[in-house]
């Protein structure tokens, strides 16, 4: 640990305790005022990722934390550098991703003085963080009390970013000069000798934490057992970011016993994996608009966030006077249509295990016609989807081809706007496990490339599927591939602008529609690949599979660009929906 002066010593104590708490990665944007912390991280053994752009750094950390399910740290200097973290912090807040944001600052006496690169950084990120602390500049010969404060501060920051509601912790560190590791002997505490410094990093953590299990109460299990027992036509809806681990298998086992279909969002963790059986339904976005009146459940059990599919949200909104029970261990509200009638705060996995025990002795719980009504529609969807797979204009086939090529347990990151909607509508449930990620907290297109590369730092070989605007919005994030040693495949669906707007009524209003909404850019991206030293290939949609296979086998990162026509594909998608509807009406 560097103990040249009070700043380097304080930074070393703090970073050492972060490492003891479990931190193993940090993204650093270079700057002067943050020098003591940057040096402490470099000497700590914690993995350091350096990014020249603060916004890319923040989104990279977000993706890394999302994929690893562990907090990542993020460091920058003072001034507007910290403001560039804000979009990623908003996403981390709403998608409950743990981040530890460390901003360096001028000391208190320089605030509101006109000092260069000094802005008001106090509670800069408002309510988007779980905890904020303004960390004072250390005094010379600081006390043992301040030493313990630094250790506890680090431990609390790491813990608070994860529990009880994962998210962002912001610590704002004041520093007076000197910032570099210049020896200032009078700075160091008189009570801290070489022996204490040599053992400090090996000492146990200052603070450890334990967590209770949110076991379901007797009232909760009794209410659900009675409701389920009297509702043979039940429905389970799993939105994004359901619990992982044993939860998918346990919930599927419960659904199988009850004969309940599970409408599994593509980001839920339920649509892909060894647990998948006929209860897992993925084609609902296509058939619910016309079949909803014939699919009226008596009860709905809801897990995870709001569905990606607007058609599913409309369907849930149409279920008047039907109990909808949301089960979550974070208490965060997830119902924008205000149809939830019961909100249960408990561990979803423990609740499933308890219900399997409570309902285990009961027979004849199922309506034998209920699940087949869903699976018949499910089969009709995939029959039509696969019939279109060989059509060159079928943009949705890109996601199907990607899924078919991915090795088991590979990482897949999907950008917002059209790609995630394509994936949610056209990705058929499969027993092949795939780790799927997307920034669906605030659902912006900004920073998705950097987020995907951060996820690829944890899951080498990850595939990122993006639209052209999301890719353009974050092209400078490509620097991380060479600098941070990232191996990923980037598939850019280039429909020359905002293809998502083809789905909206405004698409019928020309000339303002093209100029103000799709806003064609006329760009292709081979020059971006060349600038950052990345392999590049331009392919037609039907040639994606061999290009992707080659990229997955490569030790280098590759950009695969696919031209597409959003207007033509939207007409094709609507025709697909009509054909499935026609089969339902004529059966």
User: HSE on the CB side for 208, CA within 13 Å?
Assistant: 5
Q: Please, are residues 262 and 280 in contact by the beta-carbon 8 Å criterion?
A: yes
Answer for the pair 324, 303: CB distance below 8 angstroms, yes or no: no
Q: Are 349 and 245 spatial neighbours (Cβ–Cβ below 8 Å)?
A: yes
Q: Is the CATH number of domain 388-583 3.30.565.10? A: no
- For residue 332, what are its two tokens? 């965060």
301, 322 Cβ separation under 8 angstroms: no
Domains 6-200 and 218-376 share a fold: yes
- As a whole number of angstroms, the distance between CA 41 and CA 25 comes to 9
- 386's CB contacts (< 8 A; 6+ apart) are 400
Q: Is 124 helix (H, G, I), strand (E, B) or coil?
A: coil
- DSSP code per residue over 490-550: EEEEE-SS-GGGGGSGGGGSTTHHIIIII-------HHHHHHTT-EEEE--GGGHHHHHHH
Distances (CA, A) of 398 to 390, 412, 434, 553: 11, 13, 16, 19
For residue 164 the two structure tokens come to 């009880």
Tens-binned pLDDT, residue by residue, of the chain (587 aa): 788 999 999 999 999 999 999 999 999 999 999 999 999 999 999 999 999 999 999 999 999 999 999 999 999 999 999 999 999 999 999 999 999 999 999 999 988 888 888 889 999 999 999 999 999 999 999 999 999 999 999 999 999 999 889 999 999 999 999 999 999 989 999 888 877 777 787 888 889 999 888 999 999 999 999 999 999 999 999 999 999 999 999 999 999 999 999 999 999 999 999 999 999 999 999 999 999 888 999 999 999 999 999 999 999 999 999 999 999 998 899 999 999 999 999 999 999 999 999 998 777 789 999 999 999 999 999 999 999 999 999 999 999 999 999 999 999 999 999 999 999 999 999 999 999 999 999 999 999 999 999 999 999 999 999 999 999 999 999 999 999 999 999 999 999 998 888 888 988 899 899 999 999 999 999 999 999 999 999 999 999 999 999 999 999 999 999 999 999 999 999 999 999 998 776 55
Domain ranges of the chain: 6-200, 218-376, 388-583
**Distinct helix (H) and strand (E) counts, the chain:** 22, 18
Label each residue of 61-88 as H, E or C: HHHHHHHHCCCEEEEECCCHHHHCCHHH
What residues contact residue 125 under an 8 Å CB cut-off, 6+ apart? 85, 86, 89, 101, 132, 168, 170
pLDDT of residue 587: 58
- Per-residue exposure over 162-193, b if at least 16 CB sit within 10 Å of its own CB, e if not: beeebbbbbbbbbbeebbebeeeeebbbeebe
Q: What is the pLDDT of residue 1?
A: 78
SS3 annotation, 415-461: CCCHHHHHHHHHCCCECCCCEEECCCCCCCCCCHHHHHHHHHHHCCC
Measured CA distances, 490 to 286, 405, 423 (Å): 27, 14, 16
Residue 199: the pLDDT is 78
CATH class of 6-200: alpha beta
CA–CA distance, 258 with 260 (Å, rounded to integer): 5
Reduce the secondary structure of 205-245 to three states and give it as a string: CCCCCCCCCCCCCHHHHHHHHHHHHCCCCEEEEECCCCCCC
Whether residue 451 contacts residue 336, with contact meaning beta carbons closer than 8 Å, is answered with no
Residue 274, SS3 per DSSP: coil
CB 38 within 8 A of CB 75: yes
Pick the CATH number of 218-376 from 3.10.20.30, 3.40.50.1220, 3.20.20.70, 3.40.50.1370: 3.40.50.1220
Q: How far apart are CA 55 and CA 450, in angstroms?
A: 9
């Amino acid at each position: 640990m560097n103990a040249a002066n009070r700043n380097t010593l304080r930074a070393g104590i703090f970073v050492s305790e972060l490492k003891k708490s479990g931190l193993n990665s940090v993204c650093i944007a270079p700057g002067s005022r943050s020098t003591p912390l940057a040096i402490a991280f470099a000497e700590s053994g914690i993995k350091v990722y350096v990014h020249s752009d603060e916004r890319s750094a923040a989104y990279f950390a977000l993706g890394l934390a999302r994929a690893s399910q562990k907090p990542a740290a993020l460091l920058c200097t003072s001034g507007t550098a910290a403001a560039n973290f804000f979009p990623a912090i908003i996403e981390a807040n709403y998608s409950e991703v743990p981040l530890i944001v460390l901003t360096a600052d001028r000391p208190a006496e320089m605030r509101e003085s006109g000092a260069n690169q000094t802005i008001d950084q106090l509670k800069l990120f408002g309510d988007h963080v779980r905890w904020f602390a303004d960390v004072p500049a250390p005094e010379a010969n600081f006390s043992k009390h301040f030493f313990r404060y630094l250790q506890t501060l680090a431990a609390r920051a790491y813990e608070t970013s994860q529990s009880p509601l994962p998210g962002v912790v912001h610590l704002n560190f004041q520093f007076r000069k000197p910032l570099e590791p210049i020896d200032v002997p009078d700075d160091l505490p008189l009570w801290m000798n070489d022996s204490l410094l040599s053992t400090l990093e090996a000492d146990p953590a200052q603070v450890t934490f334990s967590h209770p299990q949110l076991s379901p109460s007797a009232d909760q299990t009794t209410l659900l057992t009675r409701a389920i027992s009297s509702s043979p036509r039940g429905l389970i809806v799993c939105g994004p970011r359901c619990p992982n681990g044993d939860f998918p298998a346990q919930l599927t086992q419960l659904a199988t016993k009850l004969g309940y279909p599970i409408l599994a969002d593509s980001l839920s963790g339920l649509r892909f994996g060894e647990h998948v059986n006929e209860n897992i339904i993925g084609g609902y976005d296509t058939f619910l608009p016309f079949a909803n009146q014939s699919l009226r459940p008596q009860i709905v059990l809801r897990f995870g966030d709001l569905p990606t599919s607007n058609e599913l949200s409309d369907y849930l909104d149409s279920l008047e006077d039907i109990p909808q029970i949301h089960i979550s261990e974070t208490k965060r509200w997830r119902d924008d249509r205000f149809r939830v009638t019961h909100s249960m705060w408990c561990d979803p996995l423990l609740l499933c295990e308890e219900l399997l025990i409570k309902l285990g002795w009961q027979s004849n719980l199922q309506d034998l016609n209920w699940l087949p009504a869903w699976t018949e529609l499910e089969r009709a969807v995939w029959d039509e989807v696969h019939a279109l797979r060989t059509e060159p204009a079928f943009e949705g086939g890109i996601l199907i081809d990607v899924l078919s090529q991915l090795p088991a347990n590979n990482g897949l990151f999907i950008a917002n706007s059209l790609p995630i909607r394509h994936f949610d509508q056209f990705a058929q449930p499969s027993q092949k496990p795939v780790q799927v990620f997307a920034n669906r907290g605030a659902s912006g297109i900004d920073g998705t490339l950097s987020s995907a590369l951060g996820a690829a730092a944890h899951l080498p070989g990850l595939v990122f599927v993006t639209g052209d605007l999301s890719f353009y919005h974050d092209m400078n994030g490509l620097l991380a591939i060479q600098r941070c040693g990232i191996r990923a495949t980037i598939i850019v669906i280039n429909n020359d602008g905002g293809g998502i707007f083809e789905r909206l009524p405004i698409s019928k209003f020309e000339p303002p529609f093209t100029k103000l909404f799709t806003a064609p850019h006329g760009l292709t991206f081979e020059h971006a690949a060349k600038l950052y030293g990345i392999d590049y290939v331009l392919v037609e949609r039907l040639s994606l599979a061999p290009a992707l296979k080659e990229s997955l086998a490569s030790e280098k990162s590759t950009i695969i660009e696919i031209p597409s026509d959003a207007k033509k594909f939207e007409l094709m998608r609507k025709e697909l929906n009509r054909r499935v509807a026609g089969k339902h009406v004529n059966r």
